[in-house]
Structure 1
Amino acid sequence: MSKEKFNRSIDKLDVPLHKLIKREKIAIHQAKKKKKAKKMATRSFLTACCLCLGLLSTGFFSSNMTEALSKVPIIGTIYKEFGEMAADHIEKNQFATIIEKQDQNESLTMTVKEAAYDGGRLLVTVAYAGKTNLLLEEKSIGHQYVTINGETIKSAMETSTQSLLNSNTIIEMHEFTFTNYNEYGNSIEVALHGKNLFGTKGDLQVRFPLKKVQGKIVEINPKAKVQDESYTIEAEKVIFSPLSTRIDLNIDYPEQMDTNDTWPWFNFYAIDDQGNTFDGTQIESGMANDNGHHIILRLPPMEQIPTSLTLIPRDVNQAGQKYNLTALKLKIPLEHNIDE
């Protein structure tokens, strides 16, 4: 099967974005309620976010699915179906590195199809082919994790999304936004580990080297700050990279909020100098340390760097309604920091 036929088949999948279960926001909300469990509050998790598409009748799937998946790189449209904010850039600029390495046991074959890494994020796409039906129920998913250079990844945002393509084939995407940008350098060794996955028994592991994608990376240190009687929000740095636009924020609040566990986790949206708004799935947030002092915002990658980005934080009142904290609106100037 050609790459073009594969992509056309994927395009036929009826997967509205709102049906792609994005539980990061839920995880964030739950973590805020359980801030005393600081490990939970440190990272936003999406564990086993499963979209079961069922047995499709597009004519694409056959008994030779495993062979087809081993030959065809899964690019572009797969990232888009999973709601990946950098999907268009990955496809247009061919940022994904084809890996095609696999491990197998008596029941399951795990193939790492591609990966992308830009110093701030890591994306890994995986295909699973079972000899029998694969199960996506929570009790059957098993245990899996990704390491870099043999160590647990230090992440502020972390998701794992699965899609059941047919009864014995699953496509999966792992995404990590690192706590510290460029902590791992230009070249890394990635390993995907799995144990008793999708109702099967046995261990699987695939290791592969990965280099940072070739693309322009601009780091700006604006030191923009805003404060009111309770809070101070400072934009420490803004990084424009091939896979995202990243904003590192430092947030200070009264000391007693640490003591009585009432510290804030604001919901932000952003507006650029052209009036484009980034909200909902176009802006995601994670926590780089305990109790919300270092917050990371992730926006889509940008072809052109704007002259400014304005952040508006929101909170929720007792009735559960969002409202803007206009006194803490933060305009981040960017035009004077760009090396022409």
Structure 2
Amino acid sequence: NAVSRSAFANNKNGIIVCSSSSAVENHPNNDDSNSLFENEKTTQRRQILKSLFFATTMSTLPNPTHATVEESATPTNKEEQSSSSGGGQLTPAQISNLLSIIPTFTLVEKSTGVPYAVVGEDAKLTSYFFTSYKEASRILSLASTSADKSVKEVKAQLKMAGKSKEEIDEEIGSNPWKNAVISVVSLDFAVSLVYAAQSSKRRNNMYFKVAPEEDVVEEAIALSTPKIEELEEGKVPLFYMEDFAVLGKEGEKKTPLYFNKEELVNEWKLQQKGNKEKVDMPPIKVTELFAVLNEMVNPNNTDPDIPTLYFVPPKNSSQKAKECQIKNKKNGLDSPFVIGTRIVVL
């Protein structure tokens, strides 16, 4: 599954909402990855029917770079490629440049930029970075609708127990997703948080994951070799064709990796328009984002194609990112993603 629907939908245990009880603070950089979330504190504020309660959570995180999407142009140029070491290996800076132009969409509190976290399918507290606005919007709608349903059910139970409207409103509070907006950070920023949480020995059950569109997951499963039944949560499919290349800034051949199969097919067809001879479309193959990144930094990898790889942002994602940024800034959201606090909804 792209993102487990149950992660954002109501479960039998109800909803848990954790939010910052104080103003958002600027947390200093932390060079020790093992200290990730080690200062987290959680206090229960109220419990309703032993299933609905509110708490306060504060966490300390290291500060990754590229909190916003870089308005950079194209793939790595020849000068950057020549600076890589170990054959096909790319430097972290080169990879950062490739990722920083890709927007991701995440759910944050509308006035503070504090991210939302849910319990994923692996029972771990997780904040998600979606590869498309469409998927972020779908998940936000699902979460809000589910929370409304849960609140309605609890209200009915309290009313049956003889509670007054004022007492019910006081106990239940409001749907936490009503204050959520879709914010934008770069894929570089998202990936850095994913790796930071994975490498930490003291995660306190907090994770970050990049999430593809639901349809993209189905396409990847259909193309998988050997065949798989489902895609592990946090895996991001990338589509490509062997020997299919585009020209970079300096006329060099670049190998594009697409987050969407349809966009790869459309680009291939566009290239064929000038050809007099009919050419059969090459087989579409699928790989995975983090597998590619691991190969890029692998010192033993001497594949000459590695430096030619680049990631193609999903269609319209850059435009949607700008629209979100303008709208959020207009509504008073200064930070797209605050590191150090979180809102947890179970």
What range describes the TM-score normalised by the shorter chain of this pair?
Answer: under 0.3
Instruction: Pick the structure with more helix per residue.
Output: 2
Greater relative CO (CA pairs within 8 A, separation 6+): 2
**TM value normalised by structure 2:** 0.26
**TM value normalised by structure 1:** 0.26
Instruction: Pick the structure with more strand per residue.
Output: 1
